A and B are shown apart, each in its own frame.
Chain A
Amino acid sequence: MPVPVGVLRLPRGPEGCSRGFSPTSPRFQALLGGDAVTTTAAAQGARAALRQRYLRGLAAARGRPTRFCLRAGVRVDAVFGAADVDAVAFQVDALQTPLGVQAAALLRCADVLAYSFLLD
């Protein structure tokens, strides 16, 4: 089973109206190997469904007080802002640090182990 490539590492598609490889392009076919046409459709469907739910989750998180659990047991509270497309950083507002409150900040995803927030 080939490992899907991360979103941002894909070059722009040849047809100019989408990103990523065109699934019919020789390059994409080569990436998958010969057998994978049917399994890919299922994998792609699953990937799309999972990603859509995740993006809806990010939208739901926006503006909510969130606790971030960082490395070495560090916990910080902030208001969730946004995440970038390939999960490099989270943008947060009102980050409570031991030195004071930062109006806006970026948290590197590699430093974050988990975060949680409440929905009502």
Chain B
Amino acid sequence: MQQEAAVPPGTKGGWAAARSQAPSAGPGTERPAATESVLDVGNMNDWQRKSPVDWETYVNKMVKVAAIEKHEYEGWVLTVDPVSASIVLATFLENEKVSISVVLGHAVQKVEILKEGDDEMKQRLSYIFAPEESKAYSPEELEKRKNNLKTWLETNHIPVTEQGESGRTLCVAGVLTIDPPYGPEECSSSNEIILSRVQDLIQGYLEKQQ
């Protein structure tokens, strides 16, 4: 069994090893679809068939993932992509760096929970992918930013409402949400045109403020 959760790319031995391990079949080489079709419709594995609620139970836990071709990965589960069922694992290295490994859903054979995460670990994991600026604001500042942005949107005749716990999320026209700290990076919408427009607006608003 190979252990390879935390192989940092860019280490000296690593590059050489990668070269020597790569035989003639490079990526892009056409391979006969012997084991799996490109789209796994109809032959999804057990892991891919799970529901988002099942996947969520693995988040913030230390797991060992057994993948096809006898690969094994260990780490803290950050998330599971509900579209591809890929597992995102984090491993903390000694030099305060974090190694992220993503095991694609089609390659997952078995996931075994090794350890539960305590509150400190949950906090640590949630900060890994958090946008930079969201770490620095106090609740009062966030409230102020929210109200300023809401007022500004309203004076520009953009329909905006508050939703979520204690109204901390702003909702624009019912199709776009803005989470704290209310910057362009925190806008979410399934409509990319509205998303891009509102992000530009907020970017402009923030630049004008400074």
Contacts and interface: CB of A to CB of B under 8 A. Distances in A.
A75 B107 contact: no
Contacts, number: 194
B103 A113 contact: yes
Given A61-B100, A98-B26, A43 B83 contact: no
B206 interface: no
A113 B27 contact: no
B25 A75 contact: no
A23 to B, nearest CB: 12
Interface size class of B (residues with CB under 8 A): 35 or more
B41 to A, nearest CB: 8
A4 B128 CA distance: 28
Contacts of B71: 69, 113-114
Contacts of A116: 4-9, 99-102
Given A46-B56, A53-B79, A73-B21, A113 B69 contact: yes
Interface string A32-75: 00000000001110110111111011011100011111111111
Interface of B: 4-10, 14-15, 17-19, 21-28, 31, 36-40, 49, 51-53, 55-56, 59, 67-69, 71, 73, 78-84, 86, 88, 93, 96-107, 128-131, 175, 188, 190-191, 194
Interface of A: 1, 3-4, 6-7, 17-20, 42-44, 46-47, 49-54, 56-57, 59-61, 65-77, 85-88, 95-99, 105-120
